[in-house]
């Protein structure tokens, strides 16, 4: 009988790393389907490009390191990173955006630190931040939901738009961002930030067609789909409930207090919970078993910290969605969080009790 020491991720549900990663990808499918239905075929094209790039990047570095290629590719970790990055960027971003981002995530953030289990930061979010800082225009070109499109995009149009930035009919992305009533669209978080900077109140901003109910047109259903997938992962014990609950509870409480204090300029908790990438980040990204906190108490602290940072950056920072920055900053704090929340060793007695 031998005892094998291995790096994270560590699971207690008797499933292999490959199975765990595949289950997370499968849980993403409802959200991906809703995104594709609401925002077009570009979502699927970005996914395909990301997965191919991730496999080639992983194989290339493994060859350089003289490591077995096929067994490492079969753990599905590279594919999961590709999926999470692809669904986080605009569906019709230029093809080279997702190629650069995915290659950076796999080569620099994951493999440069030694591969799965050794990376300090979440690879998908590190790549997202790189792309957002380096290519801010391309990373903010979100199209309105299909119901608000002024032009109907076919699958062929989607391919043309991703690879040439023009549809097959000759429409540019700027033209495609225009809704049926001639208004240039942005995400609800972007729209709200811009309107408030112009001196408008929340009630005046809510009149924009980009908003629907309390979360924004399309984004409510996207977040509900990822919420459903996340709950399945918790039920299957693939992820711990502590991190997503702490993230959502922290964001809910802080935004509720802020909305009561400044109801004309700060949005309420329902808007923050069901707009942007909230549920995707809380259930699928913040719960990364390698870069997240590992102790039970530490996961609550880690999740609450992410919720706090998202609230601060969304309301007072320069990036409306904020989750990528919040998760990377929380990743930096993980060693400290784990150190101060590690459980007492069995049989240990405090020094004061031994005197």
Mean pLDDT throughout 145-163? 81
Q: Cα separations (Å) of 17 from 10, 76, 189? A: 8, 8, 35
The predicted-structure confidence for 324-340, as pLDDT tens digits, reads as follows: 999 999 999 999 999 99
- Check if the beta carbon of residue 212 is closer than 8 Å to that of residue 177: no
The yes-or-no verdict on residue 216 having pLDDT over 50 is: yes
Cα 265 from Cα 65, distance rounded (Å): 53
Cα 271 from Cα 320, distance rounded (Å): 13
Burial of 329 (0-12, 13-18, 19+ CB in 10 A): middle
What are the two backbone dihedrals, phi and then psi, of residue 81, each rounded to the nearest 5 degrees?
-60, -45
Task: For residue 40, give both structure tokens.
Answer: 């077009």
- Check if the beta carbon of residue 21 is closer than 8 Å to that of residue 79: yes
**Band of pLDDT at residue 183, cut at 50, 70 and 90:** very low
Task: For residue 96, give both structure tokens.
Answer: 């080279």
Closest by Cα among 17, 6, 34 to 288: 17
Cα 327 from Cα 324, distance rounded (Å): 5
What is the reported pLDDT for 1?
Answer: 46
- Of 64-73, 98-107, 157-166, 175-184, which gets the smallest average pLDDT? 175-184
pLDDT over 90 percentage in the chain: 56
The yes-or-no verdict on residue 349 having pLDDT over 80 is: no
- Check if the beta carbon of residue 306 is closer than 8 Å to that of residue 250: yes
**Band of pLDDT at residue 8, cut at 50, 70 and 90:** low
Rounded to an integer, what is the distance from CA 290 to the centroid of its chain?
A: 15
Q: What is the mean pLDDT of the chain?
A: 86
Place of tokens 């409306």: 320
Mean pLDDT throughout 138-153? 77
Cα 2 from Cα 4, distance rounded (Å): 6
- Of 60-64, 157-161, 196-200, which gets the smallest average pLDDT? 196-200
- 239 C-beta neighbours (distance < 10 Å), count: 25
What is the reported pLDDT for 51?
Answer: 97
Q: Is the dihedral of CA 342, 9, 115, 2 positive or negative?
A: positive
What is the reported pLDDT for 258?
Answer: 93
The predicted-structure confidence for 296-325, as pLDDT tens digits, reads as follows: 999 999 999 999 999 999 988 878 788 999
Phi-psi region of 36 (alpha: psi -120 to 50; beta: other; left: phi over 0): alpha
């Amino acid at each position: 009988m031998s005892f094998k020491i291995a790096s994270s991720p560590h699971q207690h549900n008797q499933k292999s790393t490959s199975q765990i990663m595949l289950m997370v990808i499968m849980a993403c499918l409802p959200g991906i389907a809703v995104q594709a239905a609401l925002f077009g075929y570009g979502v699927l094209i970005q996914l395909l490009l990301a997965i191919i790039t991730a496999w080639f990047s992983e194989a290339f570095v493994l060859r350089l390191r003289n490591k077995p290629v096929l067994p490492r590719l079969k753990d599905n970790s590279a594919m999961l990173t590709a999926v999470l990055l692809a669904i986080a960027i605009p569906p019709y971003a230029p093809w080279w955006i997702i190629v650069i981002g995915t290659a950076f995530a796999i080569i620099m953030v994951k493999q440069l630190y030694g591969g799965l289990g050794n990376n300090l930061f979440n690879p998908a979010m590190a790549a997202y931040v790189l792309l957002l800082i380096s290519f801010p225009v391309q990373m903010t070109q979100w199209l309105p939901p299909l119901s608000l499109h002024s032009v109907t995009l076919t699958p062929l149009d989607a391919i043309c738009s991703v690879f040439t930035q023009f549809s097959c009919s000759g429409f540019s992305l700027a033209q495609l961002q225009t809704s049926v009533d001639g208004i240039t669209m942005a995400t609800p978080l972007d729209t709200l930030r811009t309107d408030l900077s112009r001196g408008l109140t929340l009630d005046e901003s809510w009149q924009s067609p980009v908003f629907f109910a309390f979360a924004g047109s399309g984004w409510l259903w996207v977040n509900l789909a990822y919420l459903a997938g996340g709950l399945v992962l918790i039920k299957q014990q693939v992820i711990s409930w502590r991190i997503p609950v702490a993230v959502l509870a922290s964001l809910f409480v802080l935004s509720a207090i802020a909305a009561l204090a400044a109801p004309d300029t700060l949005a309420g908790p329902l808007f923050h919970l069901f707009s942007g990438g909230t549920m995707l980040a809380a259930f699928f990204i913040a719960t990364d078993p390698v870069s997240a906190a590992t102790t039970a108490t530490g996961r609550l602290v880690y999740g609450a910290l992410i919720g706090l940072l998202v609230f601060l950056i969304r309301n007072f920072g320069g990036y409306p969605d904020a989750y990528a920055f919040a998760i990377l900053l929380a990743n930096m704090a993980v060693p400290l969080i784990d150190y101060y929340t590690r459980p007492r060793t069995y049989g240990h007695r405090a020094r004061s009790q031994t005197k």
